Amino acid sequence: MGWVIIVLNAYFFINFFMSYDSNDSDTVIGLSFMFLIFWLAILNTFLYVIYRVTGSKQRQCPGCGNRVKKGLTVCPTCKFNFLKNAKEI
């Protein structure tokens, strides 16, 4: 998903500078650049939320720190029992 964000940012920056006209006034260029930054901020926020919502299918084991697939009740590395620990909390 990270490469999608990079590609979209590059596309918008390249598109902005390709449409740059030396005859435009400084005000038009400044407003266009502000709009570009505003648009990229909204786009990146939206893509980041999608990235976090559809995030990884793993969690970190509190016993050893290794990544463990969600749904497993015991860590295969250190034998930490997720069910037992969840009931104590």
Q: Report domain extents, the chain.
A: 2-53, 58-88
Helix (H) or strand (E) holding 69: strand 67-69
pLDDT in tens, 59-69: 889 889 888 98
How many C-beta atoms lie closer than 10 Å to residue 47's C-beta?
A: 16
* pLDDT given for residue 1 in this prediction: 64
The per-residue b/e assignment along 50-83, b for 16 or more CB within 10 angstroms, e otherwise, is eeeeeeeeeeebeeeeeebeeeeeebeeeebebe
17: pLDDT strictly greater than 80: no
Asked if residue 37 has pLDDT above 80, the reply is yes
> Is the torsion defined by CA of 62, 68, 72, 74 positive or negative?
negative
